[in-house]
Structure 1
Amino acid sequence: MSLKENLLQAKLKIALVLLVIALGYGGWEGWKYYQYLQSSQHAFDMLKDSLKSIDEEKLSAQVNFPQLSQHLAQCVAQVYPFIEQGNNQQAAISARAQAYLLERLLAKDNSRQRGTLTPEEALQQPLDILPHDFVKQLQSSLALNATGTGNPNLAFVSATLHHPQLDMDFNLIFYLQRTGSGWMLTDLANAPELVAQFRQAQLKRNEAKRLLLIKKNETTQQRMNSTLPIQSCEAAAGVISDNKTLLVRVIVMGRNATAERVNGYSLHVTILNEAGKPILDRYLDKAVPLQPGEPFKQGWTIEMTADSEIGKALLAGGKLKCMTRWQTVALNNGEVLYIREVKQIPEDFK
């Protein structure tokens, strides 16, 4: 065999070896890619892609929304028993949760429209269940833990949402499960803890709103007192000639201590017996203008049945006393000062 033929055979052998290596490597890479397509990692990557464009159809195939919202509804019904009360409470909450989640997924981030709010202004805003930018936060914080469950058919997907209105981070842990139709996000694993955590934060926010309202009322009360300082309050009660009707007379004296006209006002009066025990509460108002510096002496007559429980208490009360506080004061510049009612703020979401 000539040298030329030997070289040709050697080249053929090398080419054959390279082909075998290439085929082997290609097969290995193909197998790896096939394994990737079957893995939780691939499902996780596809989920993140769907969240980028908010593909509703793809998300419905990747997330078991009915199962997830059903478990969430069970937790909400336990922590918020007053929401959607009735025989179909959990079904109603589940439907409400699915509709809300879809609405928020499709909504655009409106953070720029909100502007910068002071802490007091922020407290007055309606409480959102989810942060306004929660989709963006999901996209940036989603993480996969494929080995933490110890089950090849189950993985954890976690995310962290910061709720600016509650100033709190919420850690979400989802189950990513291999099903007959492929990998799906099937449940919110820590739903009970999240719902309980949310309500505690909400109650804390409600208390802050209540304290803020009390503070505002105190400031408003001081301003009304300085505008119309009350000098005295007198009360007396008596039965008229029919022996059935009781009249309570209340007289309040004071003055307009400002350089601005007052167009009207109302005050809260408490009538007490001689021992100081409260008997009767009333709101009394007048629409008579008071000029700057003008003194006033205003009287009101309250009529009631003499043999009523309150009527009897007034007649047996001895020398009556009265306490007053301003409820509203209408200024000539159009501003109306008033005391807001302080009560338990509802916890449910309207």
Structure 2
Amino acid sequence: MNFPFIPKIVAFARQHTLALAAAVLVLIVFVVSFSGWRYYQYRQSSQYAYEILRDALKTGDTETIAELVDFNSLSRGLAKDLAQNYPFLKAGADQERQIGDMIQTALLKQSRTKQEPVKDEPDLKIRLKTALYALPPDFLAQLASSLSLQPPNDGTALLTAKVRHPLLDKNFLLILRMDQTPTGWRVRQLVNSPELVRQFREAQVERMTAQRQMILDKNAATEKRMKELFPLQPCSASAGLISDGSTLLVVVHVLARDIGTVSVNNMNLFTELSSATGELLLTRYLNAVQPTHPGEDFERNWTIELDGNSELGRRVLNGQPLQCKGAWKTLGLDNGEVLHISEAPAPIEEFQ
């Protein structure tokens, strides 16, 4: 098959080689320039900054993270919200600055920590007994894996991420604002800081309440076992001055019986002594080592010495007949087990 137009094209190309070469060169320069311009534009975009930040979070590149995040601005806003929800934290005239320094130190420590995911612990009791940390050990890894970019608007872009706190069993949404500055895009603010801090505080208070309830539940179970093993009879108390006329002796008489299958070797009794009208006069913890075997009775007198001329001594003397109320605090069993009623104070702050 013949193509008569091909020789004409070849002849034209030979006659205009220089012009064609110049045209091709111009086209190449245009394409390269356009690609370079597009790449330059991409380098100035929020998308590029987002991708670089995400990769830096994955690798723990602290230098790059510092270039893309304004930690001073970020920690300033967060410190203000923390001070409002945790007024006792770094309390003082310089509170917000100290909290801000604490935030930056915690983030720096995170960047230098090997990011290993924490296995979710389904057992609530184990979670409650584990010391609470503010940031999960894999905080940066979670941030990097869930970080996403929202379309920019007027030099501002939003980054969102989800972080799970294993001990609190909660997911927290982070919304970060990234601004276009003369030196490039930088993360400068945690937009939902007030809501985020409030949610964290609520979860922490819920945890503290559960910790106290766990103690109360354990005490209730222990008290039940004590009653089933070593029931205490109502105690009695009497008081009187000895011959010197100033020393007041208060005698507390206690009866109990071992109705269980194990001996009780030692005991600690909490007693409250009140006046005949019900006014509380004094409380005491009374200890004894008196092995009591199954089926045996326990009987003991404890003597409390007071100054009969003191205000308390006079109140005790004038308050007779005394009323006594007792409860086992601790029982040491022959099998090595110790039954103990723990103190259950108001919820204790884990962040001081």
Please say whether Structure 1 and Structure 2 have the same fold, judged by a TM-score greater than 0.5: yes
2:209 — aligned with what?
A: 207
Once the two structures are TM-superposed, the CA of residue 51 in structure 1 deviates from its matched residue by: 1.0
1:106 — aligned with what?
A: 112
Of residues 173, 191, 194 in structure 2, which corresponds to 1:192?
194
What are the equivalent positions in structure 2 for 1:25-174 lying under 5 Å apart? 25-111=31-117, 116=121, 118-147=123-152, 150-152=153-155, 154-174=156-176
Of residues 317, 323, 333 in structure 2, which corresponds to 1:331?
333
What are the equivalent positions in structure 2 for 1:247-286 lying under 5 Å apart? 247-286=249-288
Q: 1:99 to 1:43 in 2, by over 3 A?
A: same
SS in 2 for 1:293: coil
Does the aligned pair in 2 maintain the 1:68–1:186 contact within 8 Å? yes
Let me know the Cα RMSD of the aligned residues.
2.4
* Count of equivalent residues: 345
Once the two structures are TM-superposed, the CA of residue 117 in structure 1 deviates from its matched residue by: 5.3
Once the two structures are TM-superposed, the CA of residue 180 in structure 1 deviates from its matched residue by: 3.0
1:220 — aligned with what?
A: 222
Once the two structures are TM-superposed, the CA of residue 122 in structure 1 deviates from its matched residue by: 1.0
The CA distance in 1 between the partners of 2:115 and 2:33, in whole Å, is 46
Of residues 296, 311, 314 in structure 2, which corresponds to 1:312?
314
The CA distance in 2 between the partners of 1:171 and 1:321, in whole Å, is 58
The CA distance in 2 between the partners of 1:7 and 1:53, in whole Å, is 55
Q: 1:107 to 1:239 in 2, by over 3 A?
A: same
SS in 1 for 2:235: strand
The CA distance in 2 between the partners of 1:110 and 1:55, in whole Å, is 16
Q: Alignment identity in percent?
A: 39
Once the two structures are TM-superposed, the CA of residue 39 in structure 1 deviates from its matched residue by: 0.9
Q: 1:329 to 1:28 in 2, by over 3 A?
A: same
Does the aligned pair in 2 maintain the 1:269–1:322 contact within 8 Å? yes
Does the aligned pair in 2 maintain the 1:122–1:165 contact within 8 Å? yes
Q: 1:110 to 1:297 in 2, by over 3 A?
A: farther
The CA distance in 2 between the partners of 1:291 and 1:243, in whole Å, is 41
Once the two structures are TM-superposed, the CA of residue 26 in structure 1 deviates from its matched residue by: 3.2
Does the aligned pair in 1 maintain the 2:121–2:166 contact within 8 Å? no
Q: Which amino acid aligns with 1:178?
A: Q
Q: Unaligned stretches of 5+ in structure 1? A: none
CA offsets 1:48-68 (integer angstroms, 9 cap, x no match):
111111011211112122222
The CA distance in 1 between the partners of 2:154 and 2:348, in whole Å, is 43
Does the aligned pair in 2 maintain the 1:251–1:298 contact within 8 Å? yes
Does the aligned pair in 1 maintain the 2:234–2:326 contact within 8 Å? no
Does the aligned pair in 2 maintain the 1:80–1:348 contact within 8 Å? no
Q: 1:110 to 1:264 in 2, by over 3 A?
A: farther
Q: Which amino acid aligns with 1:76?
A: L
The CA distance in 2 between the partners of 1:67 and 1:7, in whole Å, is 64
